[in-house]
């Protein structure tokens, strides 16, 4: 995979973040998709999965998995360079085109405001939000233990996301917009898509599909 030029990658992230539209989504989607990637232990192969669902009832319309070679190593803070090429190829194969992407990863709650959801949303031109299991930015205070509780994720004094309780009695998730919607909309979509589980349903189903394909 060669030697990585992290300075160049950081510059690219700043440029991509500047292309991300931060205004309001402003409408109800008809279809949403959750995307996730699972990897073989040897790190050479990935299984990229997408599940397209109707909104707001979250009925499955399409499921798709691709087995693809991995061409970029895992480097914290640079996950999008590993996964965006895989997910772009996957999304091109969908018959049902989503209006909104739910991404298993960070959005703007990233040191350079360029998490996976930002990078992917900009590349494919689809509004997106990131929902991560752990924060990437420091200093996040945990919200109180009730569904819908949230605390802000700050970067340089700006709210770039929220730690959100999607269910009482479970750890929060870390939600931030990627491309084409506001911070508040990202949280509301994540909560609306959480149906009794910690992880919003589109991502939960995509994760299950990718893991199942990897383990087959």
Instruction: Kindly report, residue by residue over 116-166, the tens digit of the pLDDT.
Output: 999 999 999 999 999 999 999 999 999 999 999 999 999 999 999 999 999
C-alpha dist (Å) from residue 18 to 113, 119, 169:
9, 10, 37
- Could you state, in order of their start, the residue ranges of all structural domains in the chain? 27-215
Instruction: Kindly report, residue by residue over 43-86, the tens digit of the pLDDT.
Output: 899 999 999 999 999 999 999 999 999 999 999 999 999 999 99
CA–CA separation, 141 vs 149, rounded Å? 12
Instruction: Kindly report, residue by residue over 170-214, the tens digit of the pLDDT.
Output: 999 999 999 999 999 999 999 999 999 999 999 999 999 999 999
Model confidence band, residue 2 (pLDDT cutoffs 50, 70, 90)? low
What is the Cα 214 distance to its own chain's centre?
20
Helix residue ranges per DSSP H, 54-94:
79-92
CA–CA separation, 197 vs 137, rounded Å? 24
What is the CATH code of the structural domain delimited by 27-215? 3.30.2170.10
User: What contacts 132, CB < 8 A, 6 or more positions away?
Assistant: 104, 105, 106, 109, 115, 173, 174, 175
């Amino acid at each position: 995979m060669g030697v990585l030029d992290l300075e160049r990658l950081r510059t690219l992230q700043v440029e991509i973040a500047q292309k991300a539209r931060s205004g309001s989504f402003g409408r109800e989607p008809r279809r949403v998709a959750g995307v996730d990637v699972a990897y073989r232990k040897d790190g050479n192969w990935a299984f990229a999965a997408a599940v397209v669902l109707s909104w707001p009832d979250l009925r499955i319309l399409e499921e798709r998995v691709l087995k693809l070679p991995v061409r970029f190593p895992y480097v914290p803070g640079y996950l999008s360079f590993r996964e965006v090429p895989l997910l772009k190829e996957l999304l091109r194969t969908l018959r049902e085109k989503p209006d909104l992407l739910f991404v298993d990863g960070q959005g703007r709650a990233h040191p350079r405001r360029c998490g996976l959801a930002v990078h992917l949303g900009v590349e494919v031109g689809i509004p997106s939000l990131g929902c991560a299991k752990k924060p990437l930015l420091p200093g996040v205070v945990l919200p109180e233990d009730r569904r819908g509780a949230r605390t802000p994720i700050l970067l340089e004094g700006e709210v770039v996301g929220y730690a959100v309780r999607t269910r009482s009695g479970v750890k929060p998730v870390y939600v931030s917009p990627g491309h084409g919607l506001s911070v508040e909309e990202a949280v509301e979509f994540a909560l609306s898509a959480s149906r009794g589980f910690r992880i919003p349903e589109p991502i939960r189903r995509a994760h299950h599909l990718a893991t199942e394909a990897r383990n087959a």
